[in-house]
Structure 1
Amino acid sequence: MTSHHKTYLKAPSLPAMGLGALWPSAGWQGKLGFPTFSFIWRDYRIGADLLRELQWLAGADDKATTDRLLLLAPHVTGFRLTLAMLMHPDWPLPIWQALQLRNRLIRSGDVRVAYPSDLIAQATAWRVHDKGIELGVHAQLLQGDDCSWESITTFYYRGRFAPPLTHGPLEGAALLSPTIDPALPPVAHWTVDGDRRLRFARLTGDGNPLHLLDAYARRTGFAAASAHPQRIAAQCLGHLTKTSAPRQLDLWLKGPVYYNRAVTLRQTHSPEGEEFALWVDGDERAAMVGRLS
């Protein structure tokens, strides 16, 4: 494995990230695996404007909703640092082969808004399967001397790859998601707003045209452009039954949630926490499943 460490003093540049993604990828080499990357964003801040945007999406700004959104917030603007790593010219596989599967977001202290922080992203573990590779990316938010928040995002690259079969522990959301009964009464029903999609792309750093352009999405086999998962998660968090401030949010991303389509949210309680699932109307399979605990 090769090592690469990079420090940003401001948000990673979207044009620079795009140029890195266009650089020819070296390809997977089993003996090397993924490089040991450690990317640091100095003076990262959760902006008050970000929190207002998430409250607008959630449709609420009460304390219970805001507590939930603060669990999600670093995963919105901080996602840009993870993308900068996966789009780096030395990364062996192209970003367009990476599919985001699961998220585990953990809050271990007070997540402060507008506070100068350090955000660190590292590729920590992977598994080579018969038909692809699962990769875990660990992000940590350091506010002062405390790690107040962390996440593990699981990506999947389809294809056949040479071993090694395993590297490091793949800690994150469980492989299998909770099962939510589609016959449960809905807790909310709404139409996914297609406005401000470019604004959300700038927040996350994810400018994939599948999230922006309906015509492009249709040409690639999708029904329309689909919302960023963080955007849909914020809407779900705003509609769930109010509970005490959660310390962990697990998300399983099952399929696209198209703009201007009606969706239905269902929720149930289990010993593990509050579990929920979102269906695009007309689909039998849930597009997103989550658990607050």
Structure 2
Amino acid sequence: MTTHHKTFFATPSLPVMGLGALWPSPGWNAKDGFPEFSFIWRDYRIDRQALGVLQRLAGGDDAATTERLLLLAPHVTGFRLTLAMLMHPRWPLPIWRALQLRNRLIRRGEIKVAYPSDLIARATAWRVHDKGIELDIHAQLLQGDDCPWESITTFYYRGRFAPLFVHGAAEGAAFASPSVDATLPPVAHWNVEGHRRLRWARLTGDANPLHLLDAYAQRTGFAAASAHPQRIAAQCLGHLAQPQKPPQQLDLWLKGPVYYGRAVTLRQAAGDDGDAFALWVDGDERPAMVGVMR
């Protein structure tokens, strides 16, 4: 297994990340698995301007909405650290084969805004299936002596890999999402606006043209360009009914693209294990995003 440690003392550069993605990938070797990478972003901060972007998307800057968004904010603004890992020349599989599948975001304490922090990302577990590989990336936010936030993001590489095996414990969102009744009354209905796409790409570090250019998306078989999943998650968090306490965990299942210019409908169902919600693109039978907020 390859070991590699990298420290960023400034925001990871999109052009440098792009050059790494263009480098020929070494290829998958079951004996080596994924590299033992440890990427650290020193002096990472959740800046107030980025939080303001999320608040505008969510449609509110009240205390309850902001508390929800603080659970999402490190995943949005720190996502480029994970991408820097997946786009590294030593990474065995190319970034364009990676599909973001599930998220688990956990809050363990006070998340401070504009506070000098360390963000750490590691590949911790993977599962080789008969149709692909699931990979878990574990990110941690360190603020002083505290770790108030962490996440597990699960990616999927479609393809035939052998042998079938499991490495590490699966600590992310469950394989199967909860079911939300499509006949429930909607809690919100809106059109997904496609403005400021490039700004969102800079915010997340995800400059995939599938999220930016309609013509490119259509040439690759999609109806149009689709919004970044984090962007849609922020809008969902702004429309959900307010809980009595700030959420401590958010699980997300990303099931399909949410195209710009399309109308969407959000439904919510309270349960013993948290509030489940699902977002449908109008006209689709299957939800594009499912979540549980605990």
TM-score band w.r.t. shorter chain: over 0.9
Aligned positions of 1:1-293 closer than 5 A: 1-163=1-163, 165-243=165-243, 244-293=245-294
Would you say the 8 A contact 1:254–1:287 is kept in 2?
yes
Return 158-167 or 262-271, whichever deviates more.
158-167
Q: Is the CA contact 1:30–1:164 (under 8 Å) kept in the aligned structure 2?
A: no
Contact 2:130/2:164, CA 8 A, preserved across alignment: no
Alpha-carbon separation, structure 2, partners of 1:264 and 1:30: 42
Q: Is the 8 A contact 2:129 2:164 kept in 1?
A: no
Count matched residues: 293
CA offset at residue 161 of structure 1?
1.1
Structure 2's unaligned 5+ residue stretches are: none
TM-score normalised by L of structure 1: 0.99
Looking at structure 2, the residues matched to 194 and 132 of structure 1 have their Cα atoms a distance apart, in angstroms, of 32
Q: Secondary structure at the match of 1:265?
A: strand
In the alignment, structure 1 segments of 5+ residues that lack a partner are: none
Tell me the alpha carbon deviations over residues 216-246 of structure 1, each in whole angstroms, 9 at most, x when there is no partner: 0000000000000000000000000011200
Take 2:197 and 2:111, find their aligned partners in 1: how far apart are those partners? Answer: 26
SS in 1 for 2:126: strand
Matched AA of 2:238: G
The CA deviation at 1:77 is: 1.0
Query: Which amino acid is the alignment partner of residue 263 of structure 2?
Result: A
Q: Quick one: distance in 2 between partners of 1:162 and 1:44? A: 38
Residue identity over aligned pairs, in percent, reads 77
1:59 Cα offset (Å): 0.4
2:232 is paired with a residue of what secondary structure? Answer: helix
Offset of residue 163 of structure 1: 2.9
Residue 91 of structure 1: SS of its match in structure 2?
Answer: coil
SS at structure 2 position matched to 1:20:
helix
Q: Which runs of 4+ in 1 moved over 3 A?
A: none
Structure 2 Cα separation of the partners of residues 164 and 112 of structure 1: 42
Rounded Cα–Cα distance in structure 1 between residues aligned with 2:184 and 2:220: 34
Give the alignment's Cα RMSD to 1 decimal: 0.6
Deviation at 1:162, TM superposition (A): 2.2
Report the secondary structure of 2:185's partner residue: coil
